[in-house]
Chains A and B, each alone.
Chain A
Amino acid sequence: MKISKIAEILEAEVLCCDGHTENEVMSACASDMMSDVLAFVKDHAVLITGLCNPQVIRTAEMMDIVCVVYVRGKKPDAMSIELAESKNIVLMTSKYRMYQACGLLFSQGMHGGDCLI
């Protein structure tokens, strides 16, 4: 699924790297615990989270995550945006809660990828 399609489904506002929204996302993961993300995420994923600190972006960078969606209308701090810009990670914010955001993406064909333990 293209990042632009994720933004459309979640009625999200893209906060940075809008030049990369035509990139493809292969799987999805939703968590506020970054160690869980580090344990299970697969390649070219979108991360859906309610956590807004710069460690979210560092985690995304380590895992080659291409897009981060902040739920409940949350917005990251300036340092997160700056870091994401330097790593070409698309950030967006959606008014949906995490459960709803996951449900909407899943129902539109965005599955979790091969992440069963």
Chain B
Amino acid sequence: MSEKRRIVLEFDVDGDNFVSAGKASEAVKSNLKMLGLPPALIRRAAIVMYEGEINMVIHAKGGRAYVEITDQEISITLKDVGPGIPDIDLAMQEGYSTAPDEIRALGFGAGMGLPNMKKYSDSLEIQSEPGKGTTVKMKIKL
């Protein structure tokens, strides 16, 4: 029987620098490419991770990202200790955003981040407590 795959990647997401946002997603994408996974699947993982990473930078001053790749799935967990999401149902609506104008000027904050994460993942779970932080778990089946 062949060995089971389990690759774990961890990243600190720097919340002070919008310019570097996306570095963790870039690294995850490179790893998935090296594993030779189908391009469409890699793109879905890259999109959800990137949207999540951008959200952590915009709203929570960064956080930590954990990615686990097995034979069955890619599991992405993003943890921050930011302000939390008071109303998750509202935040999930396309077009709803609390991002400031300067973020919009940079091309984000259109209220598409969470909807995109839901659209491209097989499961999305959000745990959030106002004032304490948010944990987002996403899974993509292989």
Contact = CB atoms under 8 A, between A and B. Distances in A.
Interface of A: 32-36, 38-39, 43, 51, 53-56, 58-59, 61-64, 79
Top 7 A-B residue pairs of the complex, sorted by shortest distance between their CB atoms:
A35-B112, A58-B22, A34-B107, A62-B46, A35-B110, A33-B110, A51-B107
Classify the secondary structure of B's interface with A. Answer: helix
A87 to B, nearest CB: 9
A39 B50 contact: no
Residue in A51, A54, A58 whose Cβ sees the most chain B Cβ within 10 Å: A58
Classify the secondary structure of A's interface with B. Answer: helix
Contact of B50 (A32, A43, A51, A58): A58
Interface of B: 18-19, 21-22, 25-26, 29, 39-40, 43, 46-47, 50-51, 54, 106-113, 115-116, 119
A63 B39 contact: no
Given A53-B107, A55-B106, A38 B22 contact: no
B51 A35 contact: yes
Given A33-B110, A35-B110, A51-B107, A62 B116 contact: no
A43 B107 CA distance: 21
A51 B119 CA distance: 25
Contacts of B54: 55
Contact of B107 (A39, A55, A63): A55
Nearest to B25: A62
Contacts of A51: 106-107
B11 to A, nearest CB: 14
B43 A35 contact: no
B21 A55 contact: yes
Given A32-B107, A51-B106, 13 more contacts: A33-B112, A34-B107, A35-B108, A35-B110, A35-B113, A39-B116, A43-B40, A55-B22, A58-B21, A62-B26, A62-B29, A63-B43, A64-B43
